Amino acid sequence: MPITITIPEVKDSWDPIKEEFVSSKGYTLNLEHSLISLQLWESKWKKPFLTSEKNPAELIDYIKCMTINKGIPDEAYERIPMSEMTRINDYIKDPMSATVIYDLSPERKGRGSKKNSTPTAERIYYWMISCNIPSEYRKWHLNQLLTLIRVFDVENNTEKMSKTDSAAWRRQQNAARRKAMHSKG
């Protein structure tokens, strides 16, 4: 789901470099935080977007990569109001999902699961292909796509308990219930 932001028109603003009054057209940007925008940005900057520090030029460039509508001049991005930058940041951070993934098995931690890898565009494409997720999902909000991939990871890697472990777990649960209910059976 894209977000729409507005860059207001500027009339008769003093340009100290040109030493003259200038006017600038207003723009409406449609932005999409997706795997496509991530791939465009990483191909230019050669570093993972999701886990690296970014300077202001890199952040502005990511907004350019997120822009769906065409014909927006570079100078317009320099005039994005702080309130709109806050909205963009909130949009990028939004999980876009009600799904909460609980990993209750401490023995799985550190065993090569997707959550332990630095997510780059190529790695996310690999995960999509591995999970048979259609390529049109690359237009989804990136956090929503990553949540879907995590669901696949958790669902596909749920290990079944052995009969011995299962019986021990049931005995433990029954003992805890008897103790809580002050019961003998």
Q: Which residues are CB-neighbours of 154 under 8 A, at least 6 positions away?
A: 101, 103
β partners of residue 6: 28
Beta strands of the chain (E only): which ranges?
A: 3-7, 10-15, 20-24, 27-31
Taking alpha carbons only, the member of 61, 60, 83 closest to residue 8 is 83
What confidence tens digit (pLDDT) does each residue in 112-167 have? 445 556 788 888 898 999 999 999 998 999 988 998 998 888 888 766 667 787 78
Residue % of the chain over a pLDDT of 90: 43
Q: How many of the other CB atoms lie within 10 Å of CB of 63?
A: 21
Residue % of the chain over a pLDDT of 70: 88
> Distance (Å, rounded) from C-alpha 112 to C-alpha 36?
25
> Distance (Å, rounded) from C-alpha 37 to C-alpha 142?
9
What confidence tens digit (pLDDT) does each residue in 74-109 have? 989 999 999 999 999 999 999 888 877 665 554 544
pLDDT of residue 163: 78
